[in-house]
């Protein structure tokens, strides 16, 4: 985590939300913005969902640049506070940069097809029908739970630990912890298992048991693959992203603060 540099060519993107479009119109008049294809940084107007969409577009295009978000959505955990009339270029010059490494999901379906997707927050396996899922859980090729009976299970990054993971009673992880949260969703058996905290060098594999009776889907942030046979997950260190935050409002501080919300 270091102080950000001065950016010469900055792009401006906005979600379709009315507030974001109004801010886009205001900021468009105040600065000569660069096309995203030529920019060395981007200002993102919207909420966490649009920020995730923007970051995934970077990963898919293999062109990753620092992103500075201004919250015009709801929660805005990945964003900075929007203030009408403030200069985002000046704020970016003072911002802190935080590195976020996504998960790489490699999924195989029942028909033998393979799919690869990145996940910045988490990868979750979810039952597709009224039948509970049965999933074998392995860590570094060692079976840790032969049969997890549940609604699902997820693996979360520190950046995503306050999202779905927290709602499933998983732990909050500091950004620099080099850990991942393995969290069951409504587990039935083993009844007392509440999840695990793993080193982020670990490789986690989920194998779906009784798939025809108990089909399971896998969701990597916003992308879903149905009728899963097996999923392997590992941190993609060569696809690291950079988020920019105002001093005092960085994501690592928010993760600490979230643990004291009552």
Q: Token pair of 63, please?
A: 């062109």
Active site includes 246?
Answer: no
Residues of each annotated binding site: 48-49, 121-122, 151, 159, 162-167
What's the rounded Cα separation, in Å, for the pair 241 and 51? Answer: 12
Q: Which residue has the tokens 């097996």?
A: 230
CA distance 200 to 177: 9
Contact present, 17 and 51 (Cβ < 8 Å): no
Binding residues for NAD(+), by number, are: 48-49, 121-122, 151, 159, 162-167
Please classify residue 238 by burial: count the beta carbons closer than 10 Å to its beta carbon, then call 0-12 exposed, 13-18 middle and 19+ buried.
exposed
Q: Which two tokens stand for residue 66?
A: 């620092």
Nearest to residue 125, comparing CAs of 164, 160, 154, 167? 154
Q: For the beta carbon of residue 164, count every other beta carbon within 10 angstroms.
A: 19
**Rounded Cα gap, residues 141 and 230, in angstroms:** 13
Exactly one of 48, 111, 140, 252 is catalytic; name it: 48
E strand or H helix at 258, and its extent?
A: helix 251-258
State which H helix or E strand residue 165 sits in: helix 164-167
Q: 3-class SS at 57? A: helix
Give how far Cα 202 sits from Cα of 106, 117, 179, Å.
14, 18, 9
Phi, psi of 164 (to 5 degrees): -55, -40
Q: Which residues are catalytic, by number?
A: 48
């Amino acid at each position: 985590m270091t102080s950000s540099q001065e950016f010469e060519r900055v792009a401006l993107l906005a979600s379709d939300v009315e507030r974001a479009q109004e801010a886009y119109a205001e900021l468009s008049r105040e600065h000569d913005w660069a096309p995203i294809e030529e920019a060395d940084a981007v200002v993102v107007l919207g909420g966490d969902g649009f920020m995730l969409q923007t970051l995934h577009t970077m990963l898919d295009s293999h062109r990753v640049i620092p992103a500075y978000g201004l919250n015009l959505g709801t929660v805005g955990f990945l964003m900075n506070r929007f203030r009408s009339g403030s200069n985002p270029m000046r704020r970016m010059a003072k911002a802190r940069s935080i590195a976020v490494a996504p998960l790489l999901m490699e999924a195989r379906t029942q028909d033998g097809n393979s799919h690869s997707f990145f996940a910045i927050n988490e990868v979750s396996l979810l039952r597709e029908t009224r039948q509970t899922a049965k999933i074998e859980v392995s860590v570094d090729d060692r079976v840790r739970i032969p049969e997890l009976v549940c609604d699902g299970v997820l693996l979360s990054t520190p950046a995503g630990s306050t999202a779905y993971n927290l709602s499933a009673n998983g732990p909050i992880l500091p950004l620099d912890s080099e850990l991942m949260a393995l969290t069951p969703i409504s587990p039935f058996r083993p009844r007392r298992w509440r999840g695990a905290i793993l080193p982020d060098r670990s490789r986690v594999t989920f194998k779906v048991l009784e798939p025809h009776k108990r089909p399971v889907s896998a969701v990597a942030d916003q992308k879903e693959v149905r009728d899963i046979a097996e999923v392997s997950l590992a941190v993609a260190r060569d696809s690291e992203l950079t988020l920019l935050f105002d001093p005092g409002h960085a994501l690592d501080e928010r993760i600490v603060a979230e643990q004291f919300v009552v």
